[in-house]
Amino acid sequence: MSRETKSEAGRRGFLRKGAGLGSAMLGAALGTNARAEPLQVAPWSKTPGEPALWHPYGQPSIFEKDVVRRSRGAAAMPGANSSMTPLQNLYGIITPSGLVFERHHAGIPQIDPQQHRLAVHGLVARPTIFTMDDLVRLPSVSRIHFLECSGNTGREWKGPGTASLQLSHGLLSCCEWTGVPLATVLEEVGIQPEGAWILAEGADSAAMSRSIPLSKALDDALLVYAQNGERLRPEHGYPLRLFLPGFEGNMSVKWLRRLKIGSAPFMTREETSKYTDSLPDGTARQFTFLMETKSVITFPAPDFRLKEKGFYEISGLAWTGRGRIKRVDVSIDGGRSWSVAQLQEPVLDRALTRFCLPWHWDGAATVLQSRAIDETGFVQPQARQLVDARGFESNYHFNAIQSWKVATDGVVTNVQV
């Protein structure tokens, strides 16, 4: 094995010190240059394994126990916190439901779907209460889209802010979402002509609320009850959430209980004092819905150490709230030259797109970067350009090109160049 995560490296270090197996372990860890050891018949090949229904709901291998969500730290209120997806451990574009990032404002409610209701009222012809059974009866669609918190990568505004890809970019996931187009339900209740905004409200104890433009609601918004083929997980809104493709994550209100149609935005706390983006002149941008074009290299990343020089496949993710990713460029020399990466199929509208580039590391120190270009031609910005446009206090919507420095010892660190 020529690449390993830091936790694996830590285990090996412990074993080396503790068991005195230093050279043997090191030899086993080195792949291409060390001579193979004679094969052995392993214990698990000599006895039948676990029965069917060992786990009625399947679990990852015990050897994958470190592939988990992580939080930056404890919050004042444990239920008002976030946890990050381990992007460094994932493949393809779909995030397993158990690894999808979390952001809650007052904890995870445990909602009985039989008792859950969606109320739709306000400027409508027919105020209506829907049960979950009602909603599931309506014609459904399934779509693969990314979900990203507007605070993702926010620690990078003032220079390298985190020591791991998971913590810098992990407020990002991509799932297949199944539900009813919101437009279907809005047609059922009949929007009055002056209707222009919708208050979306959760059934959590924060009664999380955001104003949604009616145009977005009619365009592509979904009332989602399933994720990656099964009903939503409690932490992602079970039994019902709003989903707004390409918009900042908090607007896709979880545990959705109410939609109220109005003529103007409702100016909730979450769209005034929070989720607004401060500028150097003291004003703040409001209703910054769109998640702009962004990419990041997920291997190599600070969560790994390269054990030796030689061949590696650089791999990463690109996404844009504007539609499809058109191209991703990768630089292996700190931005002096760029190569066009291969985009792995499928390349979907407002979904994560996996890119890769073969790379031969010569063992010299260098800086790796990726740069996404979307189908509108928009090019992912440099950190300097974002700071020039918005200063240092915007907190949200940081989508700069990310730089990973590879040192001669194979250690990868977060830098800005």
Partner 1 sequence: MSRSKLLLTLLLAGTAFVSQAQTYGIGHAASERDLAAWNIDVDANGVGLPQGRGSVALGQTLYAQQCAACHGAHGEGKPADQLVGGQGTLSSSNPVKTIGSFWPYATTLFDFINRAMPYNAPQSLSADEVYSLSAYLLYLNGIVPADAVLDAKSLPAIRMPNRDGFVSDTRPDTSNIACRQNCLPTPAAHP
Helix (H), strand (E) at residue 53: none
Give the total residue count for the chain. 417
Of 310 and 391, CB closest to partner 1: 391
Pair 163, 113: CB distance under 8 Å = no
Query: Interaction with partner 1 in 181-210: which residues (CB under 8 A)?
Result: 184-185, 187-190, 199, 201, 205-207, 209
Query: Interaction with partner 1 in 83-112: which residues (CB under 8 A)?
Result: 105-106
Of 268 and 315, CB closest to partner 1: 268
Number of residues that bind partner 1 (CB under 8 A): 85
Q: Where are the beta strands (DSSP E) in 350-415?
A: 353-361, 366-374, 403-406, 412-415
Question: Which one-letter DSSP state was computed for residue 151?
Answer: T
Query: Which member of 192, 215, 385, 408 binds partner 1 (CB under 8 A)?
Result: 385
Measured distance CA(139)–CA(60) in Å, rounded: 34
- Compute φ and ψ for 36, nearest 5 degrees: -65, 150
Pair 359, 314: CB distance under 8 Å = yes
Of 266 and 349, CB closest to partner 1: 266
Write the interaction track for partner 1 spanning residues 248-277; mark x where CB under 8 A is met and - where it is not.
---------xx-x-x-xxxxxx--xx--x-
Of 68 and 379, CB closest to partner 1: 379
Give me the DSSP letters along 261-292.
EESS----GGGTTSS-EE-TTS-EE----B--
Write the interaction track for partner 1 spanning residues 388-407; mark x where CB under 8 A is met and - where it is not.
-xx-xx---x----------
Helix (H), strand (E) at residue 301: none
* 324 part of the interface to partner 1, by CB under 8 A: no
Query: Which member of 90, 165, 214, 373 binds partner 1 (CB under 8 A)?
Result: 373
What are 54's two structure tokens? 């060992």
Query: Which member of 80, 141, 364, 365 binds partner 1 (CB under 8 A)?
Result: 80
Give me the DSSP letters along 333-363.
STTSS-EEPEEPSP--TTS-EEEEEEEEE-S
Query: Which member of 234, 310, 323, 334 binds partner 1 (CB under 8 A)?
Result: 334
Write the interaction track for partner 1 spanning residues 352-371; mark x where CB under 8 A is met and - where it is not.
-------------------x
* 78 part of the interface to partner 1, by CB under 8 A: no
Measured distance CA(74)–CA(151) in Å, rounded: 17
Please give the distance of CA 155 from its chain centroid, rounded to a whole number.
Answer: 15
* 73 part of the interface to partner 1, by CB under 8 A: no
Query: Which member of 23, 76, 112, 362 binds partner 1 (CB under 8 A)?
Result: 76
Query: Which member of 9, 21, 119, 347 binds partner 1 (CB under 8 A)?
Result: 119
Tracing tokens 């504007």 back to the chain, one arrives at 322
Of 220 and 292, CB closest to partner 1: 292
**Stretches 45-53, 121-129, 214-222, 348-356: which one binds partner 1 (CB under 8 A)?**
121-129
SS3 251: helix
**Stretches 5-13, 23-31, 118-126, 356-364: which one binds partner 1 (CB under 8 A)?**
118-126
* 123 part of the interface to partner 1, by CB under 8 A: no
* 152 part of the interface to partner 1, by CB under 8 A: no
Residue 77 C-beta: closest distance to partner 1, Å? 6
- Compute φ and ψ for 357, nearest 5 degrees: -150, 125
Query: Which member of 25, 108, 138, 218 binds partner 1 (CB under 8 A)?
Result: 138
Tracing tokens 């493949």 back to the chain, one arrives at 91
What are 123's two structure tokens? 């400027």
**Stretches 24-32, 64-72, 86-94, 278-286: which one binds partner 1 (CB under 8 A)?**
278-286
Of 194 and 393, CB closest to partner 1: 393
Nearest one of 300, 322, 335, 331 to 373, comparing CA atoms:
322
* 239 preceded by a cis bond (ω within 30 of 0): yes
Nearest one of 234, 359, 347 to 297, comparing CA atoms:
359
* 413 part of the interface to partner 1, by CB under 8 A: no
Of 336 and 360, CB closest to partner 1: 336
| Burial category of 57 from C-beta neighbours within 10 Å (exposed 0-12, middle 13-18, buried 19 and up) | exposed
Of 1 and 80, CB closest to partner 1: 80
